[in-house]
Amino acid sequence: MIQRSVREWDYLSIAEAGGDDTISRKTADRLIAMARAVSIGGADGEGILINGHQRLRARQCVGILTAPGVALEILPKIDGLDAGVTRHRLVHMLARVYDLDISGGEIAEIGWQKHDLLEVVVRLFCHRLADAVRRGLPRRYVIEEADRNALKGRLDIQRQFTVLAPSPQKLACRYEELNADIALNQIMRAAVTKLRGISKAQENQRRLHELSFAFADISPILAGRLAWDHVVLDRTNTAWSTLLGLAKLLLGDRFQTTSAGAAEGHALLFEMNTLFEEYIGRTLRRALSGTGLEVRLQGPQDHALQADDGVRRFATKPDIVVRWQGAPVLIVDTKWKRLKGAIDDPKRGVGQADIYQMMAYAQVYRCSRVMLLFPHHNELGGEEGALSVHDIRGTDGSRLTVASISLSDLGDIADRLRALVLDAVGDGGIAAVAA
């Protein structure tokens, strides 16, 4: 198996026979075929990879893309971090977005340098599942129906006097039985089965083989028929909450497999624009808890224009809305884009369309403070935070902040985001609501 790792927007060279840091044209074609088969890749696959004659270029989808004989890992572009630490940061972001409660101890045991993203996620799943299984499989009382020689539970009158009328020696019983063959365990078995056919890491295969025995008595259910809505999480099985989240990640739409035509393989991919937005939004919601400020993600939705007949058109939906007493005091739009340094471009590469969008938000939502938030990187120089603050002309004191936040260290990012937002809102934002 050829294994390659590349950062988003970087290149993977194509050589006639392949090599240590290259791949052959035939291998590249297999990756492109798989990229075209993945829903976020588009018809030509260029949502994931740009196909060149001498090289492939990664786009802003990160994760793992495999085809026969090759696995390509695409990592986010975060300055100053090697592949292992970048993988660690990516899993941290995924854990926040997918509500996965992953402890520092678990993370410390993962071989970040040795394994690609998929094998890292599989190892997390195996580690957590093995711990849970050692404490016993969850069980629930399930209603059973059986024809017995002695009454158990209560009698099913209708069945007794219809189906069993010719056999009065049998009793149609309905009763509750404590059973492990429930939806939650069926999902775990399906995940273990799927991963055994995909994982290549020897340690993961060993653990998955052991786990398969633990679920041997659980009914095998096809992934498309799993009863997700029948899963009940309560105080007796809260430890399985993160496992359920990991299983959704590994069995859901994000993890796509195909064997159609030239496209054969699997992909676990995430669009960095969306991942960055959701990670910042969820982190900010936690960071501002207890401050009196409320964070809403992807809403509320309003419209930029209203016709003479009262019909509203051109819907708008901000990424993040910070509210005070129900009214917006700051609208944040995240952009996964590398800004330019001020010397190279006084506008730092901020797009004119982005500015128009933020001005529309300020008008439509009557919010005097708006912010464009980008990832920080070395070329910006200095520290993260507010890079520039601008008055929006034609308004009564509305301001737009262009800011950056570093993902190199996520340990205190909640504190840094809280400080950034509180500074941007300031007394003026609160006063505008009070007025």
List pLDDT tens digits, range 118-140. Answer: 888 899 899 889 999 999 999 88
- The yes-or-no verdict on residue 430 having pLDDT over 60 is no
The overall average pLDDT reported for the chain is 87
Q: Last residue of a domain, which of 219, 243, 270?
A: 270
What's the whole-number mean pLDDT along residues 88-92? 89
What pLDDT score was predicted for residue 196?
93
- End residue of a domain, out of 270, 297, 318: 270
Note the pLDDT of residue 429.
53
Q: Are residues 236 and 89 in the same domain?
A: yes
Structural domain boundaries, residue 418: 288-434
Residues 152 and 20 in one domain: no
Examine residue 151 and state whether it is found in any structural domain, yes or no. yes
What's the CATH number where 344 sits?
A: 3.40.1350
Whether pLDDT at 401 is above 90: yes
Q: How many domains does the chain have?
A: 4
What's the Cα-to-Cα distance from 206 to each of 92, 117, 209, rounded to whole Å?
25, 18, 5
Residue 105 has pLDDT above 80, yes or no: no
Residue 300 and residue 418 in one domain: yes
Query: Would you say residue 209 lies in a domain?
Result: yes
According to the per-residue pLDDT averaged within each range, which of 9-23, 138-152, 214-228, 291-305 is highest?
214-228
pLDDT of residue 434: 44
State the pLDDT at residue 84: 87
Which residues are CB-neighbours of 398 under 8 A, at least 6 positions away?
Answer: 362, 367, 368, 369, 370, 391, 392
Per-state percent for the chain, helix, strand, coil, to nearest 5: 35, 25, 40
pLDDT in tens, 155-173: 998 999 988 989 889 999 9
Q: Kindly tell me if the per-residue pLDDT of 204 is higher than 70.
A: yes
Whether the Cβ atoms of residue 293 and residue 323 lie closer than 8 Å to each other: yes
Work out the average pLDDT over 196-222.
93
Judge whether 111 lies within some domain. Answer: yes
Same domain flag for 245 and 112:
yes
pLDDT at 18 over 70: no
At residue 103, the pLDDT reads: 60
Tens digit of each residue's pLDDT (9 = 90 or more) over 32-73:
999 998 888 888 888 999 998 899 999 989 999 999 889 999
Burial class (CB in 10 A: 0-12, 13-18, 19+), 175: middle
What distance lies between CA 90 and its chain's CA centroid? 10
Percent of the chain with pLDDT over 90: 46
Residue 435, pLDDT > 70, answer no
pLDDT of 100 reads 84
The 10s digit of each residue's pLDDT in 327-383 is: 999 999 999 998 887 777 778 888 899 999 999 999 998 999 999 999 998 888 788
Q: Do residues 73 and 83 both lie within one domain?
A: no
> 99 with 231, same domain?
yes
- Band of residue 141 on the pLDDT scale cut at 50, 70, 90: confident
